[in-house]
Chains A and B, each alone.
Chain A
Amino acid sequence: MRFAVGFLVLPVTLYVIYVIAPYAQAFSIALTNWRGVNASPRFVGLENFRRLLEDTVFWKAVGHNLLLLVLLPVLTLVIALFFAFLLNAGGRGGAGGVWGSRFYRVVFFFPQVLAIAVIAVLFQQVFRPDRSGMLNAPLIAMGFEPIGFLSDTDIALWSILGVLVWQAVGFYVVLFSAGIASIPRELFEAAAIDGAGGPPMFFRITLPLLWDTIQVGWVYLGIIALDVFAIVWVMTPEQGGPDYSTTVMAAEIYRNAFEYSKFGYASAMGVVLFFFTIGFAALALRLSRRERIEF
């Protein structure tokens, strides 16, 4: 016990100094009009929060985060589960994956290897609205108007969602594959002998036995959905545009702090994001409190 305490002193101290203290500081900075340079910022009370309530761009950003919080995990998990099932138990009679599953497993993991900035630049090219755009070139060749994947305010956020899902699916395919591999093979065989086809096998056996892994995935993806900063900042025009149609909370915090030097106001946004994150974590913990299935 004494050893454990001694061992923990250093990391805990570092954590308090470099993580907890800045968090706490953000709360006090949020009550000032600090612009990042002067030594004695003026205390303005809840002024920043009052201003925040009227800030339509910030609430747009909150809306985008919430939309992603719902859709990103759902889409990613459904697609990843489907692929993982096909790769591991989708073959004839439930034995092994579909033909070529080893190859697919590697290919699906590719996006995970790329840095976020690389993906963002890559998709700028994919989404280009002229003859050099991977998606628009065939459309233009067929005589259609190009689609403004990143330049149409009604479409841009969905393009972001698409890229996020594309990037995340590979990792969860691998995670779920590992999960499926740990399900005893006899269960699948027994079900196959009883005459279960693909869908019942998936819903009655794979899904319930993977539930724990899926919950972990949901929490991870939820955290990603509350961030999304890098993709939005690098990929979209006007950083979060066009016309703020793809902006997220993290982007607004960055913009206000480092481009407008409004550190007090940005800290107020950070405080709001903090409560969103805490809320999400509490919700996730609550929902995942569930009986384990022993096998």
Chain B
Amino acid sequence: MTPLSRRELLRSAVLAGLALPVASACATPAGDGGTSSAPAAGATSAANPLGLAENRPLEIWIFDGGFGDAYATDIHEPLLKAKYPKLEIKHNATQEIAKTLQPRFAGGNPPEFINNSGANAMDFGALVQDGQLADLTPLYDAPSWDDPTVKVRDTIDPSAIELGSYDGTPYVLNYVNTVWGIWYSQKLFDDNGWRPPRTWEAFTALCEEIKKAGETAPFTYAGRHPYYIYEAILTLAAKIGGKDVLKNIDNLEEGAWTAEPVKQAAGAFAEIGAKYLMQGTAGLDHVQTQTAQNKGQVAMLPCGSWLENEQKDTTPEDFGYAMFALPSFTSSDAMPYGTLHVQPGEEYVVSAKSANPRAGMEYMRAMLSKDGAGDFMELVSTLTVVKGAGEGRTLKPGLKSAAKALLVAGDNAVWFLFRKWYAELHDEVAAASGQLMNGKLTVDEWAERAQKKAESIKNDSSVKKFKR
């Protein structure tokens, strides 16, 4: 993300020059020793189900970004140390993951555990292709930290495993969770006796009531970034038509965008756009609309669970952030009330060719424990993929509300990946969605434009296609 400055470029060029002979020097010995020590799964037992070797050190690299690295040193590492007092943990933190660690991989002595995140992360596809990442299936099949009768797999969101898989094999642990919904101020709603709506009819009725009251605009979104509204449209579409609606869209299937559920969802939000939008919405960005909400100028907006953190400087003391899942469109929706758009992120990997890979996996198992995840949530104010990790915790109101919504949703989680896979399609859908909300495009025109773009990407030989 951050453009390379000239100084940085020169520095990294010098470093690369230095790193080469160093890397090649250690490549030979590590190459010999590495292969023999790689099948490092020791004896497994109920207390040590992954067969971690306590006599070899565990080297940990944390990306020192928005979450810092205190969560590792203060929460997860002590947790593991308490269980394996003889294990030596070597903690490291950096913002330059690729620059620091790529030579280690090239040299055949990679560290065990890496938080491969941030703008300078290593390319996952390349790591997978090289066989550098450990298959995490043993971890997911191991008994969970808290309850030996439940597998780790069943304590976390299934989307986290799916999103960390390459061609069906799980290599990457996505630890942090993001959920989307409609956000409001609990105080504003309480003062006016408004209730979060559970059906689309109740939602439009609430909008009407807020509009009539005249003090506050009912609804807004980040008009300059129409992603915020097409996210809501697609989540509603999945709720109406089921998970396959979004799967078809991601897979660039024929007629995925012109399918009835997608059109219904688009039509529903187009109506909100025509009747209940805050004045000037189209020209405002996310910070401006969110700040308007903090000032009580608008009641509701669609956003992700980072919202509370993002707005912490402008939120009034008693604002009370809260969110609700998209209301049911009709009683015959394919998915029940509470269906959420959920997207795990923040990637962690274990290197297959490290000296003690099972220790890295055991560390992940500790992260995925109730305590590990719950303490993490409190410390960095974000959701995790661990089910119910927020229970009984003192969380900020918005985070608490999001955690509750996530728990209610359970397996009714939906997501889409074309935004990552096909930036072109994202741009086109965003542009069209902005015009849909302004009333300059009809629902049919909107759907056709998205469909046309999807097809042109499908026919473009230069773009690599993905499937889910």
Q: B251-290: which residues lie under 8 A (CB-CB) from chain A?
A: 279-280, 282-285, 288
Q: Are B284 and A130 in contact (CB under 8 A)?
A: yes
Interface 9-residue window, one of B167-175, B220-228, B343-351, B395-403 = B220-228
Q: Are A238 and B279 in contact (CB under 8 A)?
A: no
Q: Are A130 and B288 in contact (CB under 8 A)?
A: yes
Interface 9-residue window, one of B68-76, B105-113, B149-157, B424-432 = B424-432
Q: Are B440 and A146 in contact (CB under 8 A)?
A: no
Check A243 for interface membership: any CB of B closer than 8 A: yes
Q: Are B462 and A265 in contact (CB under 8 A)?
A: yes
Q: Are A33 and B462 in contact (CB under 8 A)?
A: yes
Looking at the complex, which one of A33, A128, A140 makes contact with B283 (CB distance below 8 Å)? A128
Q: Are A35 and B440 in contact (CB under 8 A)?
A: no
Check B461 for interface membership: any CB of A closer than 8 A: yes
A167 CB → nearest B CB, Å? 21
Q: Are B280 and A238 in contact (CB under 8 A)?
A: no
Chain B 136-177 per-residue mask, 1 if CB under 8 angstroms from chain A, else 0: 000000000000000000000000000000000000000000
Q: Are A243 and B292 in contact (CB under 8 A)?
A: no
Q: Are B224 and A237 in contact (CB under 8 A)?
A: yes
Residues of A within 8 Å of B427, CB to CB, are 238, 255, 259
Residues of B within 8 Å of A241, CB to CB, are 431, 434
Given the contacts A130-B292, A146-B280, A238-B434, A153 and B462 also touching, CB distance less than 8 Å: no
Q: A129-178: which residues lie under 8 A (CB-CB) from chain B?
A: 129-130, 133, 136, 140, 145-146, 148-153
A238 CB → nearest B CB, Å? 6
Given the contacts A145-B279, A146-B279, A262 and B462 also touching, CB distance less than 8 Å: yes
Check B1 for interface membership: any CB of A closer than 8 A: no
Among B279, B423, B462, B463, the one with the most A-chain Cβ atoms within 10 Å of its Cβ is: B462
Among B280, B292, B423, the one with the most A-chain Cβ atoms within 10 Å of its Cβ is: B280
Q: Are A242 and B434 in contact (CB under 8 A)?
A: yes
Smallest Cβ-Cβ distance to B278: which chain A residue: A130
Residues of B within 8 Å of A148, CB to CB, are 280, 282-283
Q: Are A150 and B283 in contact (CB under 8 A)?
A: yes
Q: Are B440 and A153 in contact (CB under 8 A)?
A: yes
Q: Are B461 and A33 in contact (CB under 8 A)?
A: yes
Check A276 for interface membership: any CB of B closer than 8 A: no
Residues of B within 8 Å of A146, CB to CB, are 279-280, 283
Check B435 for interface membership: any CB of A closer than 8 A: yes
Residues of A within 8 Å of B285, CB to CB, are 237
Residues of B within 8 Å of A136, CB to CB, are 280
Check A85 for interface membership: any CB of B closer than 8 A: no
B458 CB → nearest A CB, Å? 13
**Size bin of chain A's contact surface:** 20 to 34
A105 to B427, CA, bound (A): 44
A133 to B282, CA, bound (A): 14
Q: B166-213: which residues lie under 8 A (CB-CB) from chain A?
A: none
Smallest Cβ-Cβ distance to A44: which chain B residue: B461
Q: Are A129 and B284 in contact (CB under 8 A)?
A: yes
Check A104 for interface membership: any CB of B closer than 8 A: no
Q: Are B431 and A242 in contact (CB under 8 A)?
A: yes
B220 CB → nearest A CB, Å? 11
Chain B 451-465 per-residue mask, 1 if CB under 8 angstroms from chain A, else 0: 000000000111100
A242 to B427, CA, bound (A): 11
Given the contacts A44-B461, A237-B225, A264-B462, A127 and B283 also touching, CB distance less than 8 Å: yes
Smallest Cβ-Cβ distance to B123: which chain A residue: A37
A35 CB → nearest B CB, Å? 6
Q: Are B462 and A35 in contact (CB under 8 A)?
A: yes
Q: Are B280 and A260 in contact (CB under 8 A)?
A: no
Residues of B within 8 Å of A152, CB to CB, are 282, 438
Q: Are A130 and B282 in contact (CB under 8 A)?
A: no
Q: Are A130 and B279 in contact (CB under 8 A)?
A: yes
Smallest Cβ-Cβ distance to B289: which chain A residue: A130
Q: Are A128 and B423 in contact (CB under 8 A)?
A: no
B341 CB → nearest A CB, Å? 21
Smallest Cβ-Cβ distance to A237: which chain B residue: B224
A47 to B223, CA, bound (A): 36
Q: Are A243 and B280 in contact (CB under 8 A)?
A: no
Given the contacts A35-B462, A130-B288, A146-B279, A238 and B423 also touching, CB distance less than 8 Å: no
A238 to B225, CA, bound (A): 7
A51 to B424, CA, bound (A): 15
Q: Are B224 and A243 in contact (CB under 8 A)?
A: no
Check A244 for interface membership: any CB of B closer than 8 A: yes
Q: Are B288 and A151 in contact (CB under 8 A)?
A: no
Residues of B within 8 Å of A127, CB to CB, are 283
A206 to B223, CA, bound (A): 49
Smallest Cβ-Cβ distance to B462: which chain A residue: A33
Residues of B within 8 Å of A153, CB to CB, are 435, 440
Smallest Cβ-Cβ distance to A51: which chain B residue: B460
A111 to B431, CA, bound (A): 31
Residues of A within 8 Å of B280, CB to CB, are 128-130, 133, 136, 146, 148, 151
B433 CB → nearest A CB, Å? 10
Smallest Cβ-Cβ distance to A263: which chain B residue: B462
A65 CB → nearest B CB, Å? 19
A5 to B336, CA, bound (A): 80
A33 to B292, CA, bound (A): 45
Smallest Cβ-Cβ distance to B126: which chain A residue: A37
Q: A19-42: which residues lie under 8 A (CB-CB) from chain B?
A: 33-35
Q: A216-267: which residues lie under 8 A (CB-CB) from chain B?
A: 237-238, 241-244, 255, 259-260, 262, 264-265
Smallest Cβ-Cβ distance to A242: which chain B residue: B434
A151 to B423, CA, bound (A): 22
Among A136, A140, A238, the one with the most B-chain Cβ atoms within 10 Å of its Cβ is: A238
Q: Are A151 and B223 in contact (CB under 8 A)?
A: yes
Residues of A within 8 Å of B279, CB to CB, are 129-130, 140, 145-146
Smallest Cβ-Cβ distance to A238: which chain B residue: B431
Smallest Cβ-Cβ distance to B223: which chain A residue: A151
Smallest Cβ-Cβ distance to A154: which chain B residue: B440
A140 to B292, CA, bound (A): 16
Q: Are B282 and A243 in contact (CB under 8 A)?
A: no
Looking at the complex, which one of A133, A243, A264, A265 makes contact with B435 (CB distance below 8 Å)? A243
For this complex, 19 residue pairs linking A to B, each with C-beta atoms less than 8 Å apart, are A35-B463, A51-B460, A128-B280, A129-B282, A130-B283, A130-B292, A146-B279, A148-B283, A151-B283, A237-B223, A237-B224, A237-B225, A238-B226, A238-B427, A242-B435, A243-B434, A243-B440, A255-B427, A264-B462
B→A interface (CB under 8 Å): 223-226, 279-280, 282-285, 288, 292, 423-424, 427, 430-432, 434-435, 438, 440, 460-463
Query: Known pairs A127-B283, A129-B282. 10 more at Cβ < 8 A?
Result: A128-B284, A129-B284, A136-B280, A146-B280, A237-B225, A237-B434, A238-B226, A242-B434, A262-B462, A265-B462
